[in-house]
Amino acid sequence: MPIHRTLCRWLPYLAFFYAAWGNAEPPQITFTCWMPPHSAHFIKLETVYREAFTALGYSFTMHHRPSLRSIQDANHGASDGECGRDFRYLQNSPESPLIRIEVVVASADLQVWTNDPDIRIESLTELNSGKYRLGYLQGSSETQSLLTPERQREAQSAVSSDIGIKMLSAGRIDALIISEASVKRILASSELPSPIYHAGTLFHQSAYVHLHPRHRQLVPALTRELQKRIPPGGISLE
């Protein structure tokens, strides 16, 4: 029986390939993230993303990078996506190839903090008035979009939230645009040389995963998996 002999001859090879396939490592997805890796916010999101990608047959890791580096790595394809950017990101960065996953994964207030308890900044007009030396986080295009071109030239960028808060407390800047979640984390874990004060809230931020387009085929399934695990309105970072 020629067919029988052929099957017998190929059976060991088929078994080998079946075993090799069964033991193969799942494909890897790596996100970059601007949140500090020890923060509760990073840990929460990393857990959710790992569960979602595991359900899709992928292994997952997330690496901390400073804000600008994090989004650059995602844009250039050095990572597979970015953990969470405001919905205004693609509007303010039309050159970005990234795809926004339409699930709010996290939310927080964007605020202004100062080193003078008498300073109040209640509007974008006051923010752009030029009365104060202003700081913001490097790589935050949504924050930069709030500033006039002249104010952008004058403002100082900080590599991270921690450095920005230290600059503010040390008097190197008078006001800092930063998320409430970052301030709470830093104040809970750091001792500052001088106190800082909440001067006003600019708006409520909603963060979304931004995926590199080489994984475009995952968008519908990833959207469904995130919706299963994240409450409406996202995980609060307050």
Q: Does residue 160 surpass a pLDDT of 50?
A: yes
Does residue 116 share a domain with residue 94?
no
Q: Does residue 174 surpass a pLDDT of 50?
A: yes
Does residue 213 share a domain with residue 178?
no
Q: In which domain, by residue range, is 168 found?
A: 109-205
CATH number at residue 192: 3.40.190.10
Does residue 199 share a domain with residue 119?
yes
What is the per-residue pLDDT across 12-51, written as a single tens digit (0 to 9) for each? 444 444 444 555 789 999 999 998 888 888 999 999 999 9
Does residue 60 share a domain with residue 139?
no
Residues in the chain: 238
Domains held by the chain: number: 2
Asked if residue 133 belongs to a domain, the reply is yes
pLDDT at 21: 52
Does residue 196 share a domain with residue 213?
no
Does residue 200 share a domain with residue 130?
yes
Asked if residue 188 belongs to a domain, the reply is yes
Decide the pairing of beta strands 99-114 and 81-86. Answer: unpaired
The DSSP-derived string for 165-202 is HHHHHTTS-SEEEEEHHHHHHHHHH---SS--EEEEEE
**pLDDT band with cut points at 50, 70 and 90 for residue 54:** very high
Does residue 178 share a domain with residue 132?
yes
Does residue 117 share a domain with residue 85?
no
What is the per-residue pLDDT across 90-146, written as a single tens digit (0 to 9) for each? 998 999 999 999 999 998 888 999 999 999 988 888 888 878 899 998 877 777 778
C-beta separation of 84 from 146 below 8 A: no
Distance CA 69, CA 83 (A): 13
Tell me the pTM.
0.73
